[in-house]
Structure 1
């Protein structure tokens, strides 16, 4: 089933178009079938392998079967990705100057700007890249961590009262709650749901870019600030982030069932990292709004 999510849409394996070797797959077993007139070469023992189900098969010359994606591999890659985000966020928090009267906030502003723009650029590259690159995923996580570390430090200095720690706990709580609901209620993700979520995501991105451009001319509307109007987009973004997680779980489940290559675990990890960051930033604004005097 073809995906409307750009993160997974570039992956032939997630869309059931190809197996690990780029061959066409067919409904029923997800395994590749030899075309007419193609006879396997058995003269070179180095090309022999064992196919799934104990049936004899042959490895493609110059290609190595790296295994299939599993829940464990997705958990491992997601843990690594989130670990990079957390470590770089903490490093940014510690290495940038404290926000006090008269303090030079240049390094903190630079970290927030460079991290945000770099993470956005790499998120677009990773979303539309056909062959997932672990290095680019980790580079995105590092830049995202730099941006989050700087943003979190600003919020902590301005609002305090455990806003940052509350947002962190709330983010992982949202992840656990969404996963539990997805499994226990057997949530089914349909095409209309996917189209709605992705349209909303791109709409939110469009509003963010519009707000950024208006801010350059001193005419911000306050859609993404800590205000009454900002809370509308914050709660909408929070709900949207939960919907994004549901889509992530659905694609991971389908991918594991289809036996797609293990490298696609990085694509799943990237998608879930984006969703969790999305939830965290919106929770940060919501908690900051309610912590105001």
Structure 2
């Protein structure tokens, strides 16, 4: 089965045949061994000169434990980078904050956002997953999140409201746990139409966000990134879409484990999961900020 998800589509292993975990789909190969790798080592070979070869795999197959481990490492990197950015940038609530202080924070936000966006494209379309690039993405994403969170917290949080950042973090992990529980207990099946809709919606929202940034340079922003009614609708749509992205992530991980794809693909799954969680967190934080306004 070919995936419409750009993160997994570039992986040959995710589209390779394997077991039938759902009972309603059949995958080519039906769990057979990879070509060129029989049980007898004497039969192994590199093929004829000039002929295409099958990429060799090392280590065991991907498991739920390996996905959890790599996801924890990736998310941990995001959190550490975000915390470091929060601590090392000026305190916006302190008296005497200058424009230079604000400039350094917004510079961190811009550099982190642009760098994370560029690496997200590279990781999404790279055929062979690179753990180093995944972690580099996590560092840049953490820098952007740390700066963004600090700006929102300083601008909208009050003593009565408590920390909006803490609420957004708790809400993000609650959304993750709730989506996972619904996926397992309700035995959600991911069909081709659903995949196409979610991926199309993701690219649509990215296109609208980029258009908003460009229009903002000319003073004609539509308010998608603002804190008015348009920003509210855009954030709600983004939050729902983030949950749908998690469902796609769970589906692909389940298929990958059933198909016994190489363990290195756990990094690709971790990257996709991190993107979904960051997507949920940013939209949830913006929603909390909007609701906090008078």
- Specify the TM-score bucket, using the shorter chain as the normaliser: 0.7 to 0.9
Matched, 1:6 2:13: no
Matched, 1:126 2:130: no
1: CA distance, partners of 2:77 / 2:35: 40
Please identify, of 221-230 and 134-143, the stretch whose mean Cα deviation from structure 2 is larger: 221-230
Q: Does the 8 Å contact 2:17/2:31 carry over to 1? A: no
Deviation readout 1:113-171 (Å, 9 max, x if unpaired): 00000000000000000000000000000000000000000000001132111100000
Matched, 1:153 2:150: yes
Deviation readout 1:202-240 (Å, 9 max, x if unpaired): 000000000000111111111121111111110000000
Matched, 1:75 2:68: yes
Structure 1, unpaired ranges of 5+: 19-24, 35-48
Q: Pick closer, same or farther for the CA change 1:202–1:63 going to 2, 3 Å.
A: closer
TM score, norm. by length of structure 2: 0.87
SS in 2 for 1:195: helix
**Matched pairs, number:** 269
Residue 290 of structure 1 aligns with which residue?
A: 291
SS in 2 for 1:263: helix
Q: Does the 8 Å contact 1:123/1:140 carry over to 2? A: yes
SS in 2 for 1:179: helix
1:90-169 → structure 2 map (5 Å cutoff): 90-99=83-92, 100=94, 101-103=96-98, 104-160=101-157, 161=161, 162-169=163-170
C-alpha displacement of 1:30: 3.6
Residue 191 of structure 2 aligns with which residue?
A: 190
2: CA distance, partners of 1:150 / 1:201: 24
Q: Does the 8 Å contact 1:92/1:146 carry over to 2? A: yes
2: CA distance, partners of 1:60 / 1:96: 55
2: CA distance, partners of 1:234 / 1:177: 19
Q: Pick closer, same or farther for the CA change 1:139–1:56 going to 2, 3 Å.
A: same
1:1-293 → structure 2 map (5 Å cutoff): 1-16=1-16, 26-33=28-35, 56=40, 65-99=58-92, 100=94, 101-103=96-98, 104-160=101-157, 161=161, 162-293=163-294
Deviation readout 1:14-50 (Å, 9 max, x if unpaired): 01169xxxxxx9422242345xxxxxxxxxxxxxx9x
TM score, norm. by length of structure 1: 0.88
Residue 22 of structure 1 aligns with which residue?
A: none
